[in-house]
Amino acid sequence: MRRAMLECKDEEKINRLLQEASTGFLGLADGDEPYVVPLNFVWWNNCVYVHGAEEGRKMEIIKSNPRVCFTVSENAGTMVHPVPAKTSTAYMSVIIFGRASVVSDLEEATAALQQLLYKYVPGYFSTPLSKRHVSSYRSSMGSGTVVLKVIPDMMTAKEKPMDEQRQFYKGRTVQDDIGRF
């Protein structure tokens, strides 16, 4: 990591971001071309789980090259400074390098999909997801659903906390800050 002073090693913060972030980005290598897909995901049992159609570009790429990069980032706001080059963003990000594979165990796939339901629609369903539903579901286009699991080989995290005195708000101008910093 080039800017080591921004490295976050706090596992609690890293886990919280991975559990709470809404969207993750799955980076794949399609030959010489990068391919990045935004996805709903769940961080569960120290792995990333996503779901999707059993066919398509993403699945073809993973079959030929299961090495992936999964990224999550949350913007916490902008920090201003009278010197434009010192204006910055507060954020936290996690990058996971690993391998993606189709979850073939129906019990694990069902449990992972249940975790996705708990995350995105908590309390909505009164009964747990059934294995039968998972194994037989077909989309309107006739495709089955697969659950993908990304097992991390390496994980890095960066964080730039918000400096409350510098937090930008609508209406704040450089005139408000001249002589403050």
Within 10 A of 90 (CB to CB), how many other CB atoms are there? 19
The tokens 């994980």 sit on which residue? 155
C-alpha distances (whole Å) from 79 to each of 119, 158, 173 are: 30, 17, 12
For 117-130, what is each residue's pLDDT tens digit?
A: 999 999 999 999 99
Going from N- to C-terminal start, the domains of the chain cover 4-162
Separation CA 101–CA 23 (nearest Å): 19
pLDDT at 66 > cutoff 80: yes
The tokens 């697969």 sit on which residue? 146
Instruction: Please give the helix or strand (H or E) that residue 41 lies within, else none.
Output: none
User: What is the residue-wise DSSP string for 134-176?
Assistant: HHH-B-TTSPBEEEEEEEEEEEEEEEE---GGGB--TT--HHH
CATH 2.30.110.10 fits 4-162, yes or no: yes
What is the average pLDDT score of the chain?
A: 92
For 84-108, what is each residue's pLDDT tens digit?
A: 999 999 999 999 999 999 999 999 9
pLDDT at 78: 94
- Of the CA atoms within 13 Å of residue 168, those in its CB half-sphere come to 16
CB 50 within 8 A of CB 115: no
C-alpha distances (whole Å) from 78 to each of 3, 10, 86, 145, 165 are: 19, 23, 11, 39, 11
pTM of structure: 0.88
pLDDT at 170 > cutoff 90: yes
C-alpha distances (whole Å) from 73 to each of 25, 78, 143, 152, 173 are: 9, 14, 30, 17, 27
